[in-house]
Amino acid sequence: MTDSRSVSRRLLIIDDDPSCRMTIAYLLGKLGHTVAEAESGSAGLAILRQQPVDLVMTDLTMPGLTGWAVARLVKAMRPHLPVVLVTGDAYAIPLDQPERLYVDALLAKPCGLAEIQAVIGPLTRDRADTVGARDPASGGFPTGRSWETNITGPGPL
């Protein structure tokens, strides 16, 4: 069931783990989005150069380009394109991580439909007044957000 306020978007999922990538792609499809999948940061950036994309979700720990590197390169190519970092170690990332400025939200694995929708919903809605707006006082996240509130998913056991 899709949220009537949501709009179908084209999302890019980058994850070297096929089962994680396919699961997230399936859940995004259930939300009504079109999904492109990439098995590496390099493959994801190639897709981004060739196709329109409304949001990028990238795994943090991958061979070759890490999620941090992917986020930095995505923002260099398209500064206002939302980037969601997906990781099983979300709570181990220091709040002062310098690369966080390239990430719009953090999603903890494992994640379900509700967690994904909570994170990508605000990032994929048409909001001309705030798209790309960055507030240095908020740590570089879009206005009204903070690093702590952008971590969505199960807490530590």
Mean pLDDT by 10 residues, the chain (157 residues): 60 96 93 94 97 95 94 95 89 74 89 90 63 37 40 43
Residue 125: its pLDDT value, please?
A: 78
Inside any domain, residue 79? yes
Is residue 4 situated within a structural domain? no
Tell me what pLDDT residue 57 has: 97
Instruction: Indicate whether 69 belongs to any domain.
Output: yes
Residue type, 92: A
Domain assignment present for residue 3? The answer is no
How far apart CA 80 and CA 77 sit, in angstroms, is 9
Q: Is the residue at 1 inside a domain?
A: no
| Helix ranges restricted to H, 31-142 | 41-50, 67-77, 113-124
Instruction: Please report whether residue 60 resides in a domain.
Output: yes
Cα 26 from chain centre: 15
The verdict on residue 118 lying in a domain is: yes
The total domain count for the chain is 1
Residue 106: domain span: 10-126+133-152
In Å, how far from its chain's centre is CA 149? 14
CATH number for position 46? 3.40.50.2300
